[in-house]
Chains A and B, each alone.
Chain A
Amino acid sequence: MSGEIAGRRSRRQLTQHTVLIAIIVIAFIPFVFTVLLSLRSSSSIYVDFFTFPWPPSLHNYGGAFQALGLPILRSVIVCASSIAGVLLLGCPCAYALARLKFAGRTLIYRAVMLVLLVPSVILLTPLFSLARGLGLVGSIWGLIVYYIATALPLAIFLLTPFLAAQEEEMFEAARLDGAGDLRILVRIAIPLALPILATIAIMTFLNLYNDFIWPSLVLRGDNETAILALTRFAPPTQSGFSSRPDVGLQTAGDVIVALPQLIVLGAGMRFFIQGVTAGAIR
């Protein structure tokens, strides 16, 4: 009787494994094929699609890097400076809202939180007019300023409850030692919040690096971001099949544009999983 139950259980476990592995394999097929295609010349792809790239050729990567290297660098700079701006503005604000007492604190906190309910679809048009009015259209400052502003509420929303939940003794002790609020913020609050700051930085990076709509409205031609440049990257095949797109070069472009996100998330996967699992985006 009990053996029968155990058998049913292990059969069930086996089914679980099978289904999970099947889903993972299917999910990875596009990525695997992309990498395989990127290692072949397009003319060979058009002659025979299903061949293993042997010997693999890195030729496509040279071409893709030439076209997309600069936009990728630009995107990384934009993301890094935007994240720096968000943390620079968000940390003091969250610290004050969480740990300092002053008139209007609750009101200000509510005013910041209310913003999270505003659908961004209503903001796009007026913010475009605003960017035009501020002379930000056409420069990457139009991206950085917009990104700092739009990522700020989420950062404050994640950071404030975290800082508010810390023990008061630690802050009180520092205050008794004569530390000012600025010192407490830099020496105590920020080191304490490093894990959640990492989560904020990664989430912000994901949102910004993937953004397509805003750069496509604000940037003009010669200073594209990585994603924007990739969507417009459609080189024709060089030898033979010249009416068809160079699939090998395109897929190599896909791979190198994915690299920065791969590195950031690879390094910070722990914070990403922790953050989302703990319901950080609630």
Chain B
Amino acid sequence: MTESIRSGADCGPALPTAILAIVIVIGLGMLVVGLLTSGGIGASEVGPQQRDTVLADGTAASYVAVTADGKLTAVVEGKVSGSTRLEGGQVLSLAVEGGHTLVGSSNGTIDLLDQNLKRVASATFDGRVVALARYKGGWVAAYGYGQYAKSYEIAVLDDQLMVHQSWAVPATLTALASGADGSLFAGGSSGQVFVISPTGKVVCTGFVNSSVTTLGISKSGTGVLVGDGGGGVSLVGEDCAVSWGSNPTASGIRAVVSQGGFAISGDDVGDISVLSDTGTVEASSRVASSSIRALIPNAKAVLAIPSSGGVMAVDTTALGGILSPLWVAAIALIEVAAAALLVWRIRTRHPRVARLFGRQVRKTWRNRLAYLFVLPALAIIALFFYYPVADAIRVSFTNTNLATGSSQWVGLANYFHVLIDDRYFHRGLLNLVVFLVAALVKTFSVPLLCALLVFWLRNAKHRAVYRVLLVLPVVVPDLVVTLLWKTIYQPEGGLLNATLQAIGLGNLQRVWLGDENTALFAVLFVGFPFMNAFAFLIFYGGLLQIDPFVFEAASLDGVGPLRRLVTIELPLLRPQSGILVFFSVIGAIQGIASVFVLTQGGPNLATYVPALEMYDNIGQGAVAYASTIGVVLALIILVLSTLVRWRPRRSRDSAR
């Protein structure tokens, strides 16, 4: 844009060009923001103010709400059309359909009221009537005693409240829902979801993570939406399989409905969440300052009835983004037109800019093969390295769990937990220090010794033979070596105990990997005599690079092997040592395969390491905590490797 202004001074007025460019930039910005952001939930107050509402049911055009003092209010088209008060017990359940209102109470009565809230029938049942629903032209009720009863009853009633059938369900029931096709679902206080056949048999039982608080028939698929006391919403199919589970909030879900392909839930603190038909939380926001008591679907909006305050209409049509598709299309059209106009203007009014730009485009086009060569690899590296690092850091600040579907921002909670409370992690860190030291000792003992011994052999043929023999074990996969050692440690049929027995030291026999006192040692001893081919070859290669004159001079001075090691070889092998320290540190922190295969961290945490805890957490779906451990371990590696890299530089400075 500055180019266009500068060149505009000699080629023509720049203002229209600049305006066009600004229009394009703003339009693009609007498009990006509009397409990427999902809009908040629009809620507007539409109904009368109420206090202490406990239940509501019906349609948006006509519904009935019950308050805590037992008062029923009928609302038609947003206006109160009548009210009545029921005597007796506390109202626990409510179902409104076809102009009829059914109310169940804590003392076992069920009252049937007409449009004007006049009682037309009443019946008494044995227990608290906890749930009611319309069912096959009549009604269905769930009742029973107490919160922890072994079984509750479900009764099918006709229009006159005559009991047709009743069955026992082995659970404390909390909710009922029935589909238009005659399917019947019941929810239990231990998270059970029962699918009940028309003959009253429990066909199957599904489970959600917390006590079922509400059920809603899914309209986009067969099954039932389940809201639970832990803030979870799940879709359970007619085969009881949980299609998806999601945790849109942390508070108990009070109501859940299916609307236009979305599942909408309301919770105890006034949050409303919109979930897609695959369980992804599309939007979530607080629309009321008190518990959402009911959600009533409507053509375009969903009525949310809070415990206190006005009834809200929650708009779900604008959820795709702030911009509606029509706006997106309009802006896109304007963009294309403006771009065409801009190109035309630059070509006619600013030929120098056009030339410059054209040259750049041609240059890029001429190098297209180079970009084509680089881009696939670059794209894969971005997706499998850059994105995961960012994702790990982001997820470590949440409580994301693949098993429960939760994914909320929790700040530094995971880090506090891992660094302060997690005693497994702390025990793992202690073991890790042991593993680290052992890895360094292993790298700098036998491989270095062998490299020196081979290097100082006089016969070139001998050197070549030993080099191959020392590297040869690398043909056996590391994990096979680990498994060989597991066999060696076997209490019976293992080489170690068999040897001890044979040489008369049978009393030293142990269950080496199963004994808390020997397990860590046994794991560290795997691979003895620690002839690491990599380290050997790197040391050997380093020795080959040392100038022979240095050794000649030392030999003329009568320097013995030990002094030569300390004064010449070790200092000159510093770069190689640095690399090997780096690899040892990384290997000790990340290499959990052998521990996993040998002991799985046991017995009693004797060989537990932090990376193993991360692995276990991934397996359980606790990816937030696993990411946190990953980030902490990565930081430890980065700090240690920076320390390693600093040392040679410092020594070079002091040498000067």
- Identify the A interface with B (CB < 8 A): 12-13, 16-17, 19-20, 23-24, 26-28, 30-31, 33-34, 37, 42, 45-46, 49-50, 89-90, 92-93, 95-97, 100-103, 105, 108, 111-112, 115, 117-130, 132, 146, 148-150, 152-153, 156, 180-182, 185, 206, 209-210, 212-213, 216-217, 227, 230-231, 244-245, 247, 250-251, 254, 257-258, 261-262, 265-266, 269, 272-273, 276-279, 281-282
A118, B389: Cβ atoms under 8 Å?
Answer: yes
- B566 at the binding interface (Cβ < 8 Å): no
Residues of the B chain whose Cβ atoms lie less than 8 Å from the Cβ of A282: 579
A96, B373: Cβ atoms under 8 Å?
Answer: yes
Task: Give A92 to B368 CA distance when docked, in angstroms.
Answer: 13
Residue ID in chain B nearest A22 by CB atoms: B529
Residues of the A chain whose Cβ atoms lie less than 8 Å from the Cβ of B466: 20, 24
Given A181-B370, A265-B475, A125 and B498 touching (CB < 8 A)? no
Residue ID in chain B nearest A128 by CB atoms: B618
Which of B383, B474, B611, B641 has the largest count of A CB atoms less than 10 A from its CB?
Answer: B474
B630, A125: Cβ atoms under 8 Å?
Answer: yes
Which segment, of B5-13, B157-165, B453-461, faces chain A?
B453-461
A121, B630: Cβ atoms under 8 Å?
Answer: yes
Given A93-B373, A93-B374, A276-B541, A150 and B384 touching (CB < 8 A)? yes
Given A49-B493, A49-B502, A227-B479, A102 and B371 touching (CB < 8 A)? yes
Residue ID in chain B nearest A233 by CB atoms: B483
Contact among A102, A180, A212, A262 with B597 in the assembled complex (CB-CB below 8 Å): A212
Contact among A102, A146, A247, A258 with B476 in the assembled complex (CB-CB below 8 Å): A258
Given A125-B618, A126-B627, A261 and B590 touching (CB < 8 A)? no
Contact among B450, B477, B611 with A121 in the assembled complex (CB-CB below 8 Å): B611
1/0 contact trace for B355-386 toward A, CB 8 Å? Answer: 00000000110010111111011101101111
A146, B633: Cβ atoms under 8 Å?
Answer: no
A121, B473: Cβ atoms under 8 Å?
Answer: no
Contact among A23, A30, A128, A273 with B481 in the assembled complex (CB-CB below 8 Å): A30
Interface class of chain B by DSSP: helix
Task: Give A111 to B369 CA distance when docked, in angstroms.
Answer: 19
A100, B373: Cβ atoms under 8 Å?
Answer: yes
1/0 contact trace for B430-455 toward A, CB 8 Å? Answer: 00000000000000001001100110
1/0 contact trace for B605-644 toward A, CB 8 Å? Answer: 0000001001101110001001100110110011001000
B474, A50: Cβ atoms under 8 Å?
Answer: no
Residues of the B chain whose Cβ atoms lie less than 8 Å from the Cβ of A46: 492-493
B370, A50: Cβ atoms under 8 Å?
Answer: no
User: In whole Å, how far is B512's beta carbon from the nearest beta carbon of chain A?
Assistant: 14
Interface size class of B (residues with CB under 8 A): 35 or more
- B537 at the binding interface (Cβ < 8 Å): yes
Task: Give A282 to B577 CA distance when docked, in angstroms.
Answer: 11
Task: Give A95 to B449 CA distance when docked, in angstroms.
Answer: 40
User: In whole Å, how far is A138's beta carbon from the nearest beta carbon of chain B?
Assistant: 14
A244, B384: Cβ atoms under 8 Å?
Answer: no
User: In whole Å, how far is B86's beta carbon from the nearest beta carbon of chain A?
Assistant: 51
Residues of the A chain whose Cβ atoms lie less than 8 Å from the Cβ of B477: 209-210, 227, 257-258, 261
User: In whole Å, how far is B562's beta carbon from the nearest beta carbon of chain A?
Assistant: 12
Contact among B538, B561, B590 with A119 in the assembled complex (CB-CB below 8 Å): B590
Residues of the A chain whose Cβ atoms lie less than 8 Å from the Cβ of B367: 100-103
A26, B537: Cβ atoms under 8 Å?
Answer: no
Task: Give A99 to B483 CA distance when docked, in angstroms.
Answer: 46
Task: Give A181 to B371 CA distance when docked, in angstroms.
Answer: 12
Task: Give A28 to B426 CA distance when docked, in angstroms.
Answer: 37
A149, B392: Cβ atoms under 8 Å?
Answer: no
Residues of the A chain whose Cβ atoms lie less than 8 Å from the Cβ of B148: none
Residues of the B chain whose Cβ atoms lie less than 8 Å from the Cβ of A49: 493, 495, 498, 501-502
User: In whole Å, how far is B417's beta carbon from the nearest beta carbon of chain A?
Assistant: 16
A125, B453: Cβ atoms under 8 Å?
Answer: no
Residues of the A chain whose Cβ atoms lie less than 8 Å from the Cβ of B596: 212-213, 216
Task: Give A267 to B100 CA distance when docked, in angstroms.
Answer: 85
Residue ID in chain A nearest B535 by CB atoms: A276
Closest 8 CB pairs of A and B: A149-B384, A92-B373, A126-B388, A49-B498, A96-B373, A122-B634, A93-B377, A277-B541
Besides the known contacts A100-B370, A119-B589, A152-B380, 18 further A-B residue pairs in the complex with CB atoms under 8 A apart: A30-B495, A46-B493, A49-B501, A50-B502, A89-B380, A92-B373, A92-B376, A119-B634, A121-B611, A122-B630, A122-B631, A125-B623, A152-B377, A212-B593, A213-B596, A245-B490, A276-B534, A282-B579
B374, A20: Cβ atoms under 8 Å?
Answer: no
Q: Which of chain B's residues 463-487 have a Cβ closer than 8 Å to chain A?
A: 466-471, 473-481, 483-485, 487
Task: Give A243 to B614 CA distance when docked, in angstroms.
Answer: 33
- B114 at the binding interface (Cβ < 8 Å): no
Task: Give A272 to B471 CA distance when docked, in angstroms.
Answer: 10
A102, B370: Cβ atoms under 8 Å?
Answer: yes
User: In whole Å, how far is A191's beta carbon from the nearest beta carbon of chain B?
Assistant: 17
Residues of the B chain whose Cβ atoms lie less than 8 Å from the Cβ of A13: 457-458
A34, B484: Cβ atoms under 8 Å?
Answer: yes
User: In whole Å, how far is A58's beta carbon from the nearest beta carbon of chain B?
Assistant: 19
Task: Give A90 to B480 CA distance when docked, in angstroms.
Answer: 30
B531, A27: Cβ atoms under 8 Å?
Answer: yes
A125, B456: Cβ atoms under 8 Å?
Answer: no
A123, B490: Cβ atoms under 8 Å?
Answer: no
Task: Give A33 to B485 CA distance when docked, in angstroms.
Answer: 11
B637, A152: Cβ atoms under 8 Å?
Answer: no
A181, B381: Cβ atoms under 8 Å?
Answer: no
Contact among A16, A181, A262, A276 with B369 in the assembled complex (CB-CB below 8 Å): A181
B457, A16: Cβ atoms under 8 Å?
Answer: yes
Residues of the B chain whose Cβ atoms lie less than 8 Å from the Cβ of A180: 369
B487, A258: Cβ atoms under 8 Å?
Answer: no
A127, B374: Cβ atoms under 8 Å?
Answer: no
Contact among B383, B385, B638 with A153 in the assembled complex (CB-CB below 8 Å): B385
- B391 at the binding interface (Cβ < 8 Å): yes
User: In whole Å, how far is B590's beta carbon from the nearest beta carbon of chain A?
Assistant: 5
Contact among A50, A129, A149 with B391 in the assembled complex (CB-CB below 8 Å): A129
Residues of the A chain whose Cβ atoms lie less than 8 Å from the Cβ of B446: 23
Residue ID in chain A nearest B637 by CB atoms: A119
Residues of the A chain whose Cβ atoms lie less than 8 Å from the Cβ of B467: 273
- B395 at the binding interface (Cβ < 8 Å): yes
Residues of the B chain whose Cβ atoms lie less than 8 Å from the Cβ of A247: 487, 490, 493
- B540 at the binding interface (Cβ < 8 Å): yes
- B402 at the binding interface (Cβ < 8 Å): yes
Given A95-B373, A108-B374, A127 and B384 touching (CB < 8 A)? yes
User: In whole Å, how far is B638's beta carbon from the nearest beta carbon of chain A?
Assistant: 7
A126, B593: Cβ atoms under 8 Å?
Answer: no
A213, B402: Cβ atoms under 8 Å?
Answer: no
Task: Give A35 to B112 CA distance when docked, in angstroms.
Answer: 84
- B549 at the binding interface (Cβ < 8 Å): no
Which of A119, A217, A254 has the largest count of B CB atoms less than 10 A from its CB?
Answer: A119
Task: Give A46 to B579 CA distance when docked, in angstroms.
Answer: 45
User: In whole Å, how far is B7's beta carbon from the nearest beta carbon of chain A?
Assistant: 22
Task: Give A149 to B534 CA distance when docked, in angstroms.
Answer: 24
A20, B387: Cβ atoms under 8 Å?
Answer: no
Residues of the A chain whose Cβ atoms lie less than 8 Å from the Cβ of B534: 276, 281
- B420 at the binding interface (Cβ < 8 Å): no
Contact among B381, B453, B495, B617 with A149 in the assembled complex (CB-CB below 8 Å): B381
Task: Give A282 to B467 CA distance when docked, in angstroms.
Answer: 20
Residues of the B chain whose Cβ atoms lie less than 8 Å from the Cβ of A277: 537-538, 540-541, 544
B597, A231: Cβ atoms under 8 Å?
Answer: yes
A217, B380: Cβ atoms under 8 Å?
Answer: no
